[in-house]
Every structure is written in structure tokens, then in C-alpha cells.
Structure 1
């Protein structure tokens, strides 16, 4: 049986949902004709303010799983539930998307092959990649669970914290060598595996693992996590605001130097070292924000976000 719900998580999920919607709205307008440099800069500000969405969702996944984890893991039932709650809706909307875009004709054998491919890769639309990436965490949960709970049982909290910090540094370093890993894996030409690190590297769960691990730590030590967020509030916000400004400058320079007035945000890609540090800080800031909303936001705001 699940434990009592974490109120901050419900508000955090609501805010992240709204951020995802805004991100995709921004993506639509970047390619609309008539967009100016000023429009691009405004969109860059909005995009930076919503970049936390994907890492926060991964963080929430890890937090909720480990917060509710007790007793033996029944992997079959665990996967069956996630398959019904997450993958089936994804499959239904994949088919709807293909039908709307005239990409699927049930009388054509090739279209069935294409449907099978996009159900495995999330390539039917730009936003479906996330489900494919997220579901890997559920499939690999026994491995994450064994490693994280093993660390918890074997070592004290100081060592656990050190391991968490080192894994964070490892993750930031990892995002800096993704291209090198992709070239190496591509040269090996291993079916499926090479593609996971090249064509589909953006949905490889390995490249998002720290957000899940951070969520696991917050779930296992929920009370201590909340106290630490409050205690470290000033430092967290200063780091977040500094990185927000620094990354925004990169985006503005990119927009101003773009050829033919094209609006692009390559400098704000998720899988970059400085962006990963910013996203980690944004998770901490958004958790602090939702804690404030729970306490001071009022019944109406809390109800809407929930």
C-alpha cells in the first residue's frame, strides 16, 4: 500500500505539466514566419523558465518510487501497472497522431512496420520521445533499486551523500562526452545498442540518470530532504539565478548570430554540462517553490495545480 501522498509532488507535477505545454507552444512559434529577434529573446526567457520540466518529471518518478518502496518488489505486477498507465495511452496517441498526419494506412504492410518502429522509438511526434526514455527507468527499476537500497543499507548517511555528490559530478561530466560516446558506439555497429547511443541518444535513460537518483534520495529521506531545501535556500537560489542569466546570454547570442533571422535554441539543449548543472539547481528551486505554494499559495492555487 502506498504511503501518504507528498503534497509538494502533486503541485510540482502540475507546474511541470504546464511548463511542458508552454515549451511545445514555444517550439511551434520559433518556426512561424515573421518572428523577430525580440520575439526570439522573449521565447528564450520563457524557455529557460520552463526547462526544468523533463528533469522534474524524472525526479518525481524516482522520488515517488522510492518513497513508496517497502517489502519485496513484484516486478511483473509493477511493469504491468506502468504499461497500462503509461505505455498504452502513449500507443493510442501515437496511432491517433499518425492518422491525423496521414502516416498510417492499415491496408499497407509498410505502414504497420512503421507503426511498430515508432511505438518503440517515440518518433511519431517530437514530444513522444519522453515516454520511451521514462519507461526505461521502470524497466530497469530492479537494478536501480538494488544499487540504491544496497548503498543505503551498507553505509551511513555521510557516505551516501558523498556517493550522491560524486554521481552528480559523474553525470555532469557524462553530458560533456555524449558525442564521443556516440562516435565510439556507432563504430561498433551493434544492432539496437549502437542506435541507442547515436540516433536515439536523446532518449537514452543513461543520460538522465542523476535526476532519477536525486529523486530516489529525496524519497528515501523525505523529511531530511525538506529540511535541507529550507536550510540551503539562499545558496540554491543564487546558483539558479546565476546560471539562468548565464545560459540566457548564450541563447541570446545564438539568436542574434543566427543566419537569415532563424530562431534556434541549440545552446539550451538538455544534454550539456552547464545545462545539467542548471537543471539540477532548477529541481531544487522548484521544490522550494512548491513547498511555499503548499504553505502560502491558498486553497484555489493548490487545488488547480493538484
Structure 2
């Protein structure tokens, strides 16, 4: 996902911008969390799983729910950090993002279509399949993880509206000369937005499934997990981070003990809620992103992880370098990792793991994550590889060309 939330590169409009290293760490952490989450999903619903194994997997699942929503947060941070000023031309950025994000998504959509049809022993392109095939480029179902690309790309399309709104709000918050008053107003706006967003999550989880609608409204409700308003709070929170980076860093470090305690409390509550809701079989769908408790837990977790990422960045150890490398190739690896997990699931479908589902899930993720990263790194170096990996391939060729020119 590094193309979705890239922090540097040749297309940067302002070469004087500081490189924000902690964003690379968060990107790597989020990618690893997503792979682990999807690996758990491949094994937790198998018929031979024991209830204690399912509970243990659910406990781990709630620790790594931050992955996808952290990418939304980082997308907002990067866009406002680099293009928040209204005098910055945004149209070229959007065109570039179409090539870096949507084109690789479209290519992998076709690949997942072929994989699914092959595994189910169906014709690849029967005439009756064309409407479903075309739907995959708007609301993908054959690649269970591709929905995120469709959703996050909407933020790029509507970013000028977010920027215009932020400009108007900025005139109000900046009308006072007192910095304390200014950030107090920003804090109040964030609190109000959190209340409104929490109410939206309440409606989405507890009320919208019961609404009797038809036509366009029914479609919007049925596909709300694909729609950007249901994730807008994290994007706006990221925008605050990108606009007031130094203040944000100080804030999350100051809040680190409290955000950690708050997340622990919400983590315990989410596990209890899941166990109560699931009954005899654990159902992870009860912990959907569009749920008030998930919203509160993930928000505190993002604040917590940001603080820990700042502390980790200061260490400059091997773990920092590893996470940065994961973040660098995360987009292409994200697109491909589900195919690896599907292959492993098909291979092990008839294997029995009573009492071992959690270790098998962890081992599967430990295999799939580095394999997907290596695959992305390899594809990025091939001619036309950027069609599958996004900017990772283009940036590699640019660096190689620069190095070649320097030698000449």
C-alpha cells in the first residue's frame, strides 16, 4: 500500500518536505497486521477447529484490527501534508494515482477472477458472467481484500472537497492569535466529528440492516463497506496529523500512557462482546469495522501505535529497517498476498489441525507476508512491472536511471 500513502518520491510537489519516517513504520505494521488478519480468517471457520482455538484466534484478531483503518489515517496524513495548501495543483496528482493505484488494482482484479474461476472449474468468460466481471472493478468480490482499494481511491477523488472544507475551518480556527485557543477549537471540532461518526457507526451496525429500502438507497446500504463516508473520521484525523505534524507528535507522545490504557480497556470489552455474540461458534463478523466499539478501539490504537512508532524510530535498529522495507513494497504485496493465502488454504483444505489452528495461522502469515513482499520487489524490477506493483516499479526504474546517468 505504499503507493496509497507514499511519503516521498519523484512526484512530490515540494522537495523541501521533511521525510516522515514513522509513517513508513506504521505502513509496515499495518501490512503485517492485515496479512495476519486474513490468515486467521482462512482457518477460524474450519469444521475441525476446537472452541478454545477459535477463542485464542479471536483474541489475536482484535489486536490487529488497526491495519486497514491505519492506512486510511495515513492516506489523510500524506495528502494534507503534501497537498493541503489550495495553491497546490491536484489534478496531476490524481492522474498519477490512477496509474499507481487503480491500474494495478484492475490487473489484480482480472487475476483473481481467473484464479476463482479456475479453482471452481468454471469457464473464464461465459456471456452470463460479463455483468459480474464488470462489477469487480467497482465492487470487487472475487478478491476479498480488493474492496479497500475501491474505498480508499474515493478519498483521492474527493480530496479537493476535503481540502476546501479544511481551508474554511482553518480560517475559523486561525482567527485567534492565541495558539491554545486555536488548538482548543480544533480539538472541539474533532470531538464533535467523533460523536457524529460514532452515531453513524451505531446506525450502520444496529439500525441500517433493519431498514426497508429499495432502489438506489438499498444499493448504498448494501455496499456501505465500500463507501468512503463510513471511514471519513480516520482520514480527517490523518489530515490533522499531516497539517500539524510537530504538534501531533507531541500530542501522541503525551497521550501514550492514556491511549494505551484506553485501548487495553476497549480490547477487553471487544473480546467479551464477541464471545457473548458468537455463542458456540466464534464469528469474527461481529467485530466489523463499522461498529461503535471498533471505532473507539481502533482510534485509541492508532494514537497508541503512532506514539510507539515515534519511540521505535529513535532506536534505528533492525526492526525499524524491516518495517520500513515492508512499508516500501506494501501496496503490491497487499494486492498479491490474498492469492498466496488462497493457495495455502486450498492446499491444506483437507488437512486436520485440531488444537493447532492458531500456530498454523501464524505460520501461514509468516510465510505469506515475506513471500508477497519479495514478489512485489521482483515484479517491480521487470519491464511493465509497475502495472502490478504501482509506484514501486516506477520509482525503482527512476532510481536506476538516475544512478546510470550519474555513472555516465
Q: Select between 136-145 and 15-24 the one with higher mean Cα deviation.
A: 136-145
- Runs of 4 or more above 6 Å deviation: none
2:219 equivalent to 1:195: yes
Aligned counterpart for 2:67 among listed residues 50, 53, 70: 53
Aligned counterpart for 1:248 among listed residues 226, 251, 271: 271
Structure whose alpha-carbon radius of gyration is higher: 2
Q: Show the 5 A alignment for 1:139-218.
A: 139-156=157-174, 157=182, 158-178=184-204, 180-181=207-208, 187=213, 189-190=215-216, 194-196=218-220, 198-218=221-241
Residue 75 of structure 1 deviates from its aligned partner by: 3.8
- The match for 1:220 is 243
RMSD: 1.9
- The match for 2:258 is 235
Aligned counterpart for 2:38 among listed residues 4, 7, 24: 24
Aligned counterpart for 1:281 among listed residues 300, 319, 338: 300
Residues 102/74 of structure 1: CA separation in 2 closer, same or farther (3 Å cut): same
Check conservation: 2:201, 2:291, Cα contact below 8 A. yes
- The match for 1:84 is 99
- The match for 1:74 is 89
- The match for 1:4 is 18
Check conservation: 2:65, 2:298, Cα contact below 8 A. yes
2:32 equivalent to 1:14: no
For the residues of structure 2 that align with 1:244 and 1:180, how far apart are their CA atoms?
A: 24
Q: Secondary structure at the match of 1:68?
A: helix
How many equivalent pairs are there? 297
2:117 equivalent to 1:102: yes
Residues 107/174 of structure 1: CA separation in 2 closer, same or farther (3 Å cut): closer
Q: Secondary structure at the match of 2:155?
A: helix
Gaps of 5+ in 1: none
Gaps of 5+ in 2: 1-12, 175-181, 325-408
- The match for 1:126 is 144
- The match for 2:51 is 37
Instruction: Report the TM-score when normalising by structure 2.
Output: 0.69
Residues 92/233 of structure 1: CA separation in 2 closer, same or farther (3 Å cut): same
Residues 107/167 of structure 1: CA separation in 2 closer, same or farther (3 Å cut): closer
Instruction: Report the TM-score when normalising by structure 1.
Output: 0.91
For the residues of structure 2 that align with 1:300 and 1:153, how far apart are their CA atoms?
A: 44
Residue 105 of structure 1 deviates from its aligned partner by: 5.1
Check conservation: 2:274, 2:282, Cα contact below 8 A. no
